[in-house]
């Protein structure tokens, strides 16, 4: 059964029972909680609409594809660069930073870079953090608003490191940069803001201590893009403020989230097509 026409369903915003044809959820006030009868189908994907699995699956598949695409040039450097896809392939799939954006005109890489990783440890650490942070963020903001926060934090993070790389290179911006840590800092910011907005010191303090630990870790470890962390945190915080976790998630949030995912997919495909032409020419 794809579409439920009568009976009650679980509200996608607050999780309470609501009639599938009700105009508004009586508990949280969300309009059209039944999503024209498609809410049960979406709920089956999980409270996060399957986004945690989707991001992890997407990042791991892209990493594997990058290794397969140029197996002879895999970098076997140490630490975060162990098993790194070749420079060529990283460029092709859409790494960001001052060089791709300003020297090659690939501005859309600020969208794609958050889905790409430059080594086995790099992807391992980031996937651990996504597994840790995405489910609670989705619980507090709703899955659609989490996708919006995730996407915008990636864009602001890579824009910050690209701008710093181009105009403030002394302060350590990036020539080349990839990794999900920009959106991860966006999720951390969302949890910090949730703590402030609701007065939940448990959520807020935990998120703050994680954010501080990860920031400090970034300054100690070599080769970490601290501008992306800073930009991702700022973007995530401002977006969370704007979305306000105390108000129920709305249908237009779902539409914006789907647009975010579609734009990301298009940017990845376009990146490869444009990159093949660029490297040949
Ligand atoms: Zn509700």
Q: Is 63 in contact with 116 (CB distance < 8 Å)?
A: yes
Say if pTM beats, i.e. exceeds, 0.75.
yes
> pLDDT at residue 64 above 90?
yes
Q: What is the DSSP letter of 49?
A: T
What is the distance in A from the centroid of ligand 1 to the CA of 121?
A: 40
pLDDT band at 40 (very low <50, low <70, confident <90, very high): confident
Average pLDDT over residues 79-95: 88
3-state secondary structure of 10: strand
- pLDDT value, residue 168: 82
3-state secondary structure of 75: strand
What is the distance in A from the centroid of ligand 1 to the CA of 274?
A: 44
Average pLDDT over residues 72-90: 83
What is the distance in A from the centroid of ligand 1 to the CA of 247?
A: 11
Q: What is the mean pLDDT of the chain?
A: 90
Average pLDDT over residues 36-64: 87
> pLDDT at residue 226 above 70?
yes
> pLDDT at residue 1 above 70?
no
> pLDDT at residue 15 above 70?
yes
* Tens of pLDDT, residues 130-160: 999 999 999 899 899 999 999 999 999 999 9
What is the distance in A from the centroid of ligand 1 to the CA of 137?
A: 17
Where exactly does CATH 1.20.1540.10 map onto the chain? 51-280
Q: Is 172 in contact with 163 (CB distance < 8 Å)?
A: no
What is the distance in A from the centroid of ligand 1 to the CA of 28?
A: 4
> pLDDT at residue 181 above 90?
yes
CATH assignment of 51-280, given 1.10.357.10, 3.40.50.2000, 1.20.1540.10, 1.10.10.10? 1.20.1540.10
What is the distance in A from the centroid of ligand 1 to the CA of 248?
A: 7
Structure-block tokens of residue 12: 């996608």
What is the distance in A from the centroid of ligand 1 to the CA of 22?
A: 11
């Amino acid at each position: 059964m794809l579409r439920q026409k009568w009976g009650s369903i679980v509200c996608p915003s607050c999780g309470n029972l609501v009639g599938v044809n009700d105009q508004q959820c009586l508990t949280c006030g969300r309009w059209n909680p039944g999503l024209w009868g498609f809410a049960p189908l979406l709920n089956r994907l999980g409270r996060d609409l399957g986004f945690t699995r989707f991001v992890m699956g997407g990042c791991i598949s892209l990493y594997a594809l990058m290794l397969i695409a140029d197996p002879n040039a895999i970098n076997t450097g140490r630490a975060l660069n162990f098993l790194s896809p070749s420079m060529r392939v990283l460029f092709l799939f859409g790494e960001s930073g001052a060089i791709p954006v300003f020297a090659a005109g690939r501005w859309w890489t600020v969208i794609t870079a958050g889905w790409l990783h430059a080594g086995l440890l790099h992807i391992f650490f980031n996937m651990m953090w996504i597994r840790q942070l995405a489910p609670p963020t989705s619980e507090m903001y709703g899955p659609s608003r989490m996708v919006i926060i995730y996407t915008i934090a990636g864009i602001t993070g890579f824009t910050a490191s690209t701008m710093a790389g181009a105009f403030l290179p002394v302060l350590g911006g990036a020539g080349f940069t990839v990794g999900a840590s920009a959106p991860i800092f966006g999720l951390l910011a969302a949890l910090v803001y949730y703590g402030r907005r609701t007065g939940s010191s448990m959520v807020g303090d935990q998120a703050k201590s994680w954010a501080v630990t990860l920031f400090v870790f970034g300054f100690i470890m070599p080769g970490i893009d601290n501008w992306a962390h800073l930009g991702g945190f700022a973007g995530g915080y401002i977006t969370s403020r704007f979305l306000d976790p105390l108000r129920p998630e709305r249908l237009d949030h779902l539409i914006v989230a789907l647009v975010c995912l579609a734009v990301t997919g298009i940017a990845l495909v376009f990146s490869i097509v444009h990159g093949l032409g660029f490297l040949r020419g």
